[in-house]
Amino acid sequence: MTTAPPVPQTTRHPSPAGFPPDFVWGAATASYQIEGAVSDDGRTPSIWDAYAAEPGRIRNGDTGVVACDHYHRYREDVGLMRDLGLGAYRFSLAWPRILPGGGTRPNPAGLGFYDRLVDRLLEAGITPWATLYHWDLPVEIEQAGGWPDRATADRFAEYAAVAAAALGDRVHHWITLNEPWCSAFLGYGSGIHAPGRADPTDALLASHHLLLGHGRAVEAIRAHAPGSQVGITLNLYPVTPADDAPASAALAHRLDGLHNRWFLDPVFRGDYPVDLLDDLDGLLPGDWCRPGDLAEISTSLDFLGVNYYTRHNVRSSPYPGVNAAEFTHRGLSRAANGWEVDPDGLVEVLTRVSEEYTSLPIYVTENGSAWEDRVAADGSVDDPDRLGYLADHLDACARAREAGADVAGYFAWSLLDNFEWAEGYTMRFGLVHVDYASQVRTVKASGRWYAQFIAAHRDGILAP
Ligand code: IFM
């Protein structure tokens, strides 16, 4: 990275001085999205292997069979992180590598990969942040009922104990779940994510059991990796009415309930939102939430992880059912996947969480954008839109800090271009471009800018 870093083409120019000396600068990935090597060293299929193999599920029939081949190229990838100056790397563990077949017997070869990765990170001076569940449930556990089945919370706690016992001597930052809203509502509600089931009761039960598993996993991590920092990552959105109609305001409140409060309230207040419980009456069986569940779910944490991408603007429409909500846009620029670029929404989310829910440190554990990158003849990738998005959202973090939110770190999504779930390889979020045919990595202009920003922050701290 010797060429001059680019200048963000954006109205906002965040200053490294807007962040405290111990601010954590990172990037994030997830196992199925980058690792490949789906049959190596005893790994068995997850629900994403099964789902991706079903015709018509994923754009272009893409799968994670090879992905970024990170399983074999992790040394090179850690080298890229070191060159970028990252202080932390957030990755996820593949459950079926560690406990193949959804069983209880740890797989030394699967754990060995994460051993090597963690050791390499530490040698490079990069702090490992491990996420236990970024969506790769072993297929056998899905066949036994999956997340709608309460027993899956127990399986998850067992897995957490194994992972923490194996890695907890070196991994001191743990995230239990990534975006349980997606696991529950996309995986079991709309079916556009694995395992592809579409039943509202299953989705709600899945959400409760994911949260129960989270609470139990926190305790398992604390038992096996004492002294660790433990948190959960939620994907949060401001939900804003798009017009002045009272029905739109009511709809926005309801969707805010399903997206945000359904997870924030039980984790931080030990209760589900009453308005939603009224709304969902009849969808849930009588014993879905048992005595003691909410106490487990609201066990104390060390931090909250927030993933932020965009805002939901919604207005009420005259149509019934799911069509009653019409999602609109504010006329802001839109990324390749259609998501509006709305950094003010990040300020709103961070300040809301810190004012209404928790005084714990908040880490932005994912934030990023997909654009149609072009590789120039000289091999470089100039990505001014991603760079502008990054600069604007770092500025949003600084603004949220000024407003009083304890934003303690930022992880760009993503380190590498990768398998974007139902969109396959069509959406590129990386700071580093991946040529999937050759597996050549190229740091994009946004990555070079991020490296420069991190270095300027460090140099500001070191300056006398
Ligand atoms: O790629 C995903 C990631 O796995 C979870 N959060 C959102 C990202 C972009 O869609």
Question: Model confidence over 120-139: pLDDT tens digits?
Answer: 999 999 999 999 999 999 99
Q: How far, in Å, CA of 374 to CA of 358, rounded?
A: 42
Q: How far, in Å, CA of 412 to CA of 446, rounded?
A: 11
Q: Is 309 annotated as a binding residue?
A: yes
Domains of the chain, residue spans: 24-459
pLDDT at 319: 75
pLDDT at 462: 74
Q: How far, in Å, CA of 223 to CA of 237, rounded?
A: 33
More confident position, 62 or 10: 62
Q: By C-alpha distance, which of 370, 374, 386 is closest to 338?
A: 370
- 261-315 tens-digit pLDDT: 999 999 999 999 999 999 998 999 999 999 999 999 999 999 999 999 999 999 9
Name the CATH superfamily, with its identifier, for domain 24-459. Answer: Glycosidases (3.20.20.80)
192, 364, 366, best to mutate for ligand 1 pocket (most atoms within 8 Å of CB): 366
Q: By C-alpha distance, which of 459, 456, 460, 444 is closest to 27?
A: 444
Q: Is 356 annotated as a binding residue?
A: no
Output the 3-class SS for 326-373: EEECCCCCECCCCCECCHHHHHHHHHHHHHHCCCCCEEEEECCCCCCC
How would residue 322 be classed by pLDDT, with cut points 50, 70 and 90? low
4, pLDDT greater than 90: no
pLDDT at 464: 57
How would residue 251 be classed by pLDDT, with cut points 50, 70 and 90? very high
402, pLDDT greater than 60: yes
412, pLDDT greater than 90: yes
Q: How far, in Å, CA of 368 to CA of 135, rounded?
A: 19
380, pLDDT greater than 70: yes
**What is the average per-residue pLDDT within 80-84?**
98
219, pLDDT greater than 80: yes
pLDDT at 3: 62
**What is the average per-residue pLDDT within 195-200?**
98
Say whether 348 sits in a helix, a strand or coil.
helix
**What is the average per-residue pLDDT within 353-371?**
98
Q: How far, in Å, CA of 388 to CA of 8, rounded?
A: 5
10, pLDDT greater than 80: no
pLDDT at 339: 98
- Going from the Cα of 307 to the center of ligand 1, the distance in angstroms, rounded, reads 9
Check residue 309 and give left, alpha or beta (phi > 0: left; psi -120 to 50: alpha).
Answer: alpha
Q: Whose CA is nearest to atom 4 of ligand 1?
A: 30
Q: How far, in Å, CA of 14 to CA of 420, rounded?
A: 28
**DSSP character at residue 188:** I
Q: Is the pTM of this model over 0.75?
A: yes
**Residue count (the chain):** 464
Positions marked catalytic: 179, 366
Output the six-digit token pair for 417: 């271009």
Q: Is 174 annotated as a binding residue?
A: no
- Going from the Cα of 419 to the center of ligand 1, the distance in angstroms, rounded, reads 9
Residue with token string 């027993």 = 151
**What is the average per-residue pLDDT within 431-452?**
98
pLDDT at 112: 98
- 156-188 tens-digit pLDDT: 999 999 999 999 999 999 999 999 999 999 999
Q: Quick one: which atom of ligand 1 is closest to the CA of 307?
A: 6
Measuring from each residue's beta carbon to the nearest atom of ligand 1, which residues come in under 6 Å? Answer: 30, 33, 179, 307, 366, 413, 420, 429
**What is the average per-residue pLDDT within 33-37?**
99
Let me know: does 428 contact 371? Beta carbons within 8 Å.
yes
